Amino acid sequence: MKLNSIGPAAGSRKVAKRVGRGHSAGQGKTCGSGHKGQKSRSGGYHKVGFEGGQMPIHRRLPKVGFASRTGAFSQEVRLSEVNKLTDELIDLDALKRAGFVSPRALQVKIILSGELTKAVKVKGVSVTKGARAAIEAAGGSIED
């Protein structure tokens, strides 16, 4: 193999259209831009979403987003954090006192992340399926 013989694969690079080279070349006179109008002029184009002066759709429609009303009041606690607690009863107040959840929290869910090495009693707190299995395997109980 020689450096002067290396080239792109066949068909990987399109040959550019040579416009404005006469009628018989297929792209003569107007070069495929048609007659008159903004799109036929050099440098004549507009920004994305421009609708000819009409108020564009992205400005006609109202802004609509999503702000969860419960997001600020619901939190998750890991099993490894539950393991650090000295209390045997794990409830919302115990988690707030320990500083694992915000004082504004109204709902808490314990998720399976980390290990639990002691038996705990969970009361009034949601638990995922995996965390439930881990708590019961450690000898703990869950009260709904």
| CATH number of the domain within which 107 lies | 3.100.10.10
Instruction: Please report, in tens digits, the pLDDT of each residue of the chain (144 residues total).
Output: 899 999 999 999 999 999 999 998 889 999 989 999 888 998 888 889 999 899 999 999 999 889 888 888 999 999 999 999 988 899 999 999 999 999 999 999 999 999 999 999 999 999 999 999 999 999 999 997
Task: Provide the strand spans (E) within 1-144.
Answer: 74-78, 89-90, 107-111, 121-123, 126-127, 141-143
Write out the two tokens for 58. 């992205």
Residue 34, in any domain of the structure: no
| Pairing of β 107-111 and β 74-78 | parallel
Q: How many domains does the chain have?
A: 1
* Token pair 């193999």: residue: 1
Residue 54, in any domain of the structure: no
